[in-house]
Amino acid sequence: MTLGELVRGGVHDVAAGIIGWTLLVDGVGGRIVEVEAYAEDDPASHAFGGATARNASMFGPAGHLYVYRSYGIHWCANVVCEQPGRGAGVLLRALEPTHGLERMRDRRAVADDRLLCAGPGRLTQALGLTGADDGADLSRPPFELIPPASQAVVERTTRIGITRAVEQPWRYVELGSSWSSRRRRAA
DNA sequence: CTTTCGATGATCT
DNA sequence: GATCATCGAAAGG
């Protein structure tokens, strides 16, 4: 399975399928253990209501990044999906740090490694992702997306931190992972 | 342990 | 002018 093949499916297949992949930026990163799907007709999605200046990359090529500023402070990163009608993406919520731990500790200055990449804002900070990476192609350096040796076991729960379509079970977590951002119960 | 709240800025109405 | 796909520190049990 390649990134191009993975990203060809609908958002939910992509969200479930990307769990277990290793994401690296300049050799720094880890295993994707938590994501959320934001679908085409999803009131919680930034793409809901059509393309604007901010969400433009969600309507661009699949397999690229959509990075936006959250609450004026943090950056959050999505993998753009190739969904009919476009405007769908998968929000990267947590990684299990595996590569470049020192680099991530420098950037995050946190005592517990558990907090390095457990949350969308934390993850981007640890990997050094910013608005400058919006629209970037994940299949090209400095990015690497490496498939897992075997398909991860995925658990589906409700999404976190949103105010609309709260009841939809569109958060995907690797079963048993202790690196997710946790809160809220399974759907 | 849990809950509350301020920071901070782009985006949209 | 209000909203927000967040985080971390502070306050309360």
State the pLDDT confidence band at A187, using cuts at 50, 70 and 90. Answer: very low
3-state secondary structure at position A17: helix
Q: Residue A185 above 50 pLDDT? A: no
Task: Give the integer Cα–Cα distance in Å for A104 and A126.
Answer: 5
Residues A66-71, mean pLDDT to the nearest whole number = 97
Residues A56-80, mean pLDDT to the nearest whole number = 97
Instruction: Report the DSSP beta bridge partners of residue A143.
Output: A25
Distance A182 CA to B10 C1' (A): 27
Q: Across chain A, what does the average pLDDT equal?
A: 94
Distance A68 CA to B8 C1' (A): 14
Instruction: Report the DSSP beta bridge partners of residue A65.
Output: A79
Give the model confidence (pLDDT) of A8-18 as tens digits: 999 999 999 99
Q: What is the pTM of this model?
A: 0.94
Q: Print burial letters for A26-55: b (CB count within 10 Å at least 16), e (below 16).
A: eebbbbbbbbbbbbbebebbbbbeeeeeeb
A154 touches strand C (CB under 7 A): no
Distance A63 CA to B6 C1' (A): 36
Q: Are A4 and A140 in contact (CB under 8 A)?
A: no
3-state secondary structure at position A78: strand
Q: Are A56 and A180 in contact (CB under 8 A)?
A: no
Nucleotides of C under 7 A from a protein CB: 3-8
